[in-house]
Structure 1
Amino acid sequence: VEVAEAFSLSPETLYLAVNCLDRYLSGNVITELNLQLLGVSCIMISAKYYGRGSVRAPPRQVESFCYITDYTYSSNELLEMESCVLNYLKFELTTPTANCFLSRFVPQGKREEEVLSHLLFESLASYLCELSLLDYAMLRY
């Protein structure tokens, strides 16, 4: 979350990164030392995926991601982990995320006469989705 904020990435990018990380961890064992490497690699993958044609999140260079980890990992290590993640996921990145669902669900509840309640509904829905990123127990909602 902090890396996504530091790079001003879109919410879609963060949700895709978490999705990739979860799917990779569901079938692979990784040491605690390499968990940050995996997280940054997933963010790099999703930034590249959503960065194309977007003003908010242009594709980042690998060095930027090395910098954000205080150069704990080299660019070769990041690229190697990126390759491992993409190969494990079989390059299937286009999966629905909570944010994807939210972007389609929230507008359906909109009524012109209730702008304030709609904004409250949208904020609450976004808040609950963001909680699901940080708290495993929230995934069922």
Structure 2
Amino acid sequence: MKKTEADVGEFVAGVSPAKRQRDAETMVALLREVTGREPEMWGTIVGFGSCHYRYPTGTEGDVPIAAFSPRRQATTVYLLDTGAHADRLGKLGPHETGVGCLYIKDLEEIDADVLREIVAEDYRRVIEGDTGSAVFTVTD
């Protein structure tokens, strides 16, 4: 995955439907607060900071430290492993999960403080290198 030169504000302004655009604006503010970093575009993903990862298998690449994407059906929040947040996810409100993705259809229906805790914990884990079998190295 690579950063692009696209403008985050323009990207968010073009998000539809309107509810997803509203949620994207909220997520930019929340991730900016949690990470202390400015957003950058990684294709259609809004990322904060960057890191290089390498798995024991040799698979490696570059990704944002914290990120989300306003998809048509739901806002996707990218995490290391949703299973690590089982207790908090039970308090979050309506959502679905994949292994490393949290899908939220409406941010107004979830507990923003719980979401902030989940994102902050994942961010901390990457910064501190507490990521399980993969090695993550912060690059900016």
TM-score, structure 2 as length reference: 0.29
More strand by share: 2
Structure exhibiting the larger radius of gyration computed from Cα positions: 1
TM-score, structure 1 as length reference: 0.29
